[in-house]
Structure 1
Amino acid sequence: MVDALSCFSFFGSFLGALPLSISWPSFMAEVNEAEIEPLVLAGVLLSLITVYLAAKVGGELCARVNLPPVLGELLGGVVVGVSALHLIVFPEGAGESGSVLMQLVQSTSDLEPEGILSVFRGESEVVSVLAELGVIILLFEIGLESDLKELIRVGPQAAVVAVIGVVVPFALGTTGLIALFNIATVPAVFAGAALTATSIGITAKVLAEIQKLSSKEGQIIIGAAVLDDVLGIIVLAVVASLAKTGEIEITNVAILIVSAAVFLVGAIFVGRLLSPLFVGLVDKMETRGELIISSLIFAFVLSYIAATIQLEAILGAFAAGLILAETPKHKQLEEQIVPIADMLVPVFFVTVGARTDVSVLNPLDPANREGLIIASFLVIVAIIGKVVTGFAVFGQPGINRLAIGVGMVPRGEVGLVFAGVGSASGALSESLEAAIIVMVILTTFVAPPLLRIVFKDSDSVPPDEEVQVATSSSSEEQPSAS
């Protein structure tokens, strides 16, 4: 996932690449900064109004037809985004034209087009950062609701699921593109790498909605998705290096692997040692919000450390949640984080939908047809390559293996990052990039309802079978208890 630092980095590179006839300093001189700032705030407020309306309307509609509300938030984002109403758009998707909301801002001010363009960039940056904060809060909340002991217990199974979920789709996708479509090796490797991604945010939200987050299946999915995220970062670093230099830099790969392992294990180990000090410090505070503010500081510190060592900021937030879930304050903290999550998390899901251009799904456009043919192959590999991971789980009688596999299917914004990096490096053709985007769209939108269906099927196990499963599980766990 792209973290907040990536947003700032992209923003800077975008400004530097603007094809304007005047230089950036002179442009800034012509725009009255005091006049721009309140309009940026106005644009952000309009964007948040649109985001919340889209999230609520979409979520409520999906909830009423027994679909995950997160799917409604994604669909609401598509409706208000670049694919339809152009209310929430971003510089990389709208160019210099801005959004409909920016036209509304311009109609109520006397700014020149250059000034509105500056407002548009500022508004887009703020919304992007709020979206990234949303997914950080989401993973912190998921960490709080997870059981560290259970995650450690299912760790071997989660590791197997994660590794297979990276190796199988990567191998099938890369070899299939080369053999069936005669695609060159480097582009095929990039597309195969995009198939390895898993969107932990989307799956975790669905699991929380259907109250399966603390189940064995949910814990294996979350553990595997976290490891998959780490492996995905490593794979992305490898293929990006291959695209740029034609060779893989072993040193960088080794550094990423070591830093990921040290961070995850070290953060949890040290955090558990220091958690009593954290609780004691919070108990001594007398000001309002002592628990939630102290916890967010802790989560943001770990997120910052993760981001600075080229990992995902969300990994730090998840680790912080796991650590604080072991403290006596975890129930109180869970209650206090909910309003913050309700405010920020929808921004993330709506913006994911808003950035998704579904026009690449139009078969009537001749330019899309080659991409759709390749996309059909990628979608099949993307689903099969993740579903088979559930059947690799061992030592868990009665577990819903299909649910585990389906939980690993959605690519979400993670897959779009792979497509974006591949496009920026020049490794992907237009048709192959479109195929990857189609694969990301379909896996993202199909997985949430499928996940609810496969869990619902497992809930309808006959009572006598449930008794047998419970008996066998208790008999297996008895020796370890003694």
Structure 2
Amino acid sequence: MPRAKRICILLALALLVPSLAWANGASESFTRTSLLLILMITLADACGFLFERFGLPELVGEISAGIILGNLALIGLDFDIATTLKESEFMTYASELAVVLLLFLVGLESDMRDLLRVGRTALSVAIAGVVLPLALGLGAVAALGLGSGLQGWFIAATLAATSVGITAKLLEAQGVIKRPSSEVILGAAVIDDVLGVLLLAVLASVAANGDFVASDLLIILAKAVGFFVVALFIGQKLMPEMVHMVSLTKHASIWTGFAFCLALAFGELAALAGMAPLIGAFVAGLLLDDVSFRVGDDLQKHRLEELIRPISDILISIFFVSIGVQVELLALADGANLLLVVTLSAVAVVSKGLAGQLARGPEFDRAGIGFGMIPRGEVGLIFAAFALAQGVFCCDIYTVVVTVVLFTTIIGPAMLKPRLQRF
């Protein structure tokens, strides 16, 4: 049986079984959650496979699966998955855990030595890649009558993010990930993430307290510096010993648990320092990258990535589907919302493109660097999801922001690919 036909049959069953269960009054938490997982994962896999066949990121397909599930009412199906997801503690935790593992893998795939080697160039591009979207984004939302309050700042902050994973996958697939321009893109994207999460911490404080106190920023920065100092100490002093102890076993499965617990531990350490857990997970992956370790018979980090991927892929699919479920397509029928989508998309593309121009040196392709910074991907989605959960975004604004993130995730790689021959 052809693969496409098998996927269609599985998808039909995944859509049918939960519907029958709900219709028959299934109310047990385990049953409802299990059936919902079957539906979400199957549809995400099918849409991801379909979108990849058309040369689009799998992430876009998985979010599209969520958008389909969240808008079934448009075709007459009374199936409120959004409410079910919000009421499920498991789904909430699974989404949070997915973000931690996602950033851990990003850190593991990054190379600290390469990032430091292009640090000055990456830093200038990164700072411009945060300041320009913030300034242009705030100006755009003010011009469109959305004000410059907390909502405006969250919209602009979402535009300041840069996805490491989306561009890294393209660069790796094309065999240019070690080129100077590629290293600047990845380095700047990582710095953008750090700056973005610091900004998120400040905005979260404002959202919680209702006002901004300058001293809060100093406290947050002090905690951030303290966290990185502690993490660096652990990485240099304790990580090699920890890895050596784990290496004593010949069972590769032990490494899956070690990596999983390491990401969670550093995430908790970051939370104790007043930072987002995802930053701690990223630092854990980045520090582990610099340590030589043996996984089974292989002395390499690639094997470790393969071991943790099966767990992370499922959880990340749940996260992306959950993001899409909360998008309301009817909001895009409003002319004002469409204008906002177009305006913010233009700001998102132009601001990162200009940031790439700050790279200096004949070895750098400035236009290509700018294009590589365009995708907001998972990082932008994290900002949007947080703002919606805190009541900063209404459903319409959330839908607009997610649409812009999806657009940049598609257009960024499309613009970058023709430039890779100049890297």
Aligned to 1:300: 264
Q: Which residue of the partner structure matches residue 82 of structure 2?
A: 90
Separation in structure 1 between the aligned mates of residue 42 and residue 131 of structure 2, nearest angstrom: 40
Unaligned runs of 5+ in 1: 1-35, 92-97, 100-119, 363-367, 467-482
The residue aligned with 2:46 is 57
TM normalised by structure 1 equals 0.70
Q: Is the 8 A contact 2:181 2:368 kept in 1?
A: no
Pick the aligned partner of 1:45 from 34, 37, 53: 34
Change (3 A) 1:303 1:214: farther
- 1:249 Cα deviation (Å)? 0.8
Q: Note if contact 1:70-1:205 (Cα within 8 Å) is conserved in structure 2.
A: no
Cα shift readout 1:83-141 (whole Å, capped 9, x = no counterpart): 666767333xxxxxx48xxxxxxxxxxxxxxxxxxxx72xx321222122222222222
For 2:336, the aligned partner's letter is: E
Matched, 1:139 2:107: no
Per the TM alignment, residue 302 of structure 1 is displaced from its structure 2 partner at its CA by: 0.4
Could you give the per-residue CA deviations for residues 12-59 of structure 1, whole angstroms, max 9, x where no partner exists?
xxxxxxxxxxxxxxxxxxxxxxxx999212122112211221122112
**Does structure 2 conserve the Cα–Cα contact (< 8 Å) formed by 1:302 and 1:317?**
yes
* Post-superposition offset of 1:441: 1.2
In the other structure, the counterpart of 1:445 is 406
* Greater CA drift, 378-387 or 208-217: 208-217
- Write out aligned runs for 1:248-267 (5 A): 248-267=212-231
**Correspondence 1:392 to 2:381:** no
Instruction: Indicate the percent of aligned positions where both proteins have the same amino acid.
Output: 30
Contact 1:173 1:191 in 2 (8 A): yes
From 22, 46, 57, the equivalent of 1:68 is 57
- What root-mean-square deviation, in Å, do the aligned CA atoms of Structure 1 and Structure 2 show? 3.3
SS at match of 1:391: helix
Match among 245, 249, 252 for residue 281 of structure 1: 245
- Asked whether 1:344 is paired with 2:315, we answer yes
Matched position secondary structure for 1:347: helix
3-state secondary structure, aligned to 1:268: helix
More displaced 10-residue stretch of structure 1: 158-167 or 264-273: 264-273
Shift of 1:159: 2.2
1:149-208 CA-to-partner distances (Å, cap 9, x unmatched) read 011222223322222122112212323443x34554425445434433345555556656
Aligned counterparts of 2:237 and 2:32: Cα–Cα separation in 1: 45
Change beyond 3 A, Cα 1:86–1:386: farther
Q: Any stretches of 5+ residues in structure 2 without a counterpart?
A: 1-24, 294-300
In the alignment, the residues of structure 2 paired with residue 88 and residue 203 of structure 1 have an alpha-carbon distance, to the nearest angstrom, of: 34
Aligned to 2:382: 414
Query: Is it true that 1:424 corresponds to 2:395 in the alignment?
Result: no
1:312-331 alignment, distance < 5 Å: 312-329=276-293, 330-331=301-302
How far off its partner does 1:306 sit? Answer: 1.3
1:401 deviation in Å? 3.7
CA contact (8 A) 2:185 2:372 kept: no
In structure 1, the residue matched to 2:326 is: 355
Per-residue deviation at 1:271?
Answer: 0.8
Residue 434 of structure 1, aligned match among 396, 399, 405? 396
Q: Is the 8 A contact 2:375 2:413 kept in 1?
A: no
Aligned residues: 386
1:193-204 equivalences under 5 Å are 193-200=157-164
Structure 2 equivalent of residue 78 of structure 1 = 67
Would the aligned equivalents of 2:180 and 2:363 in 1 still touch at CA under 8 Å? no
Aligned-partner residue type, residue 328 of structure 1: S
Match in the other structure for 2:93: 129
Q: Tell me, in whole angstroms, the C-alpha distance in 2 between the residues paired with 1:387 and 1:173.
A: 14
Match of 2:339 in 1: 373
Shift of 1:210: 5.9
Native 8 Å contact 1:403 1:451 kept in 2: no
Q: Match for residue 190 of structure 2?
A: 226
Q: Structure 1 pair 243/386, CA: closer, same or farther in 2 (3 Å)?
A: same
Equivalents in 1 of 2:65, 2:331: separation in Å?
A: 18
- C-alpha offsets along residues 310-341 of structure 1, whole Å, 9 cap, x if unaligned? 32212111111112222222233123122223
* Contact kept? 2:206, 2:212, Cα under 8 Å: yes
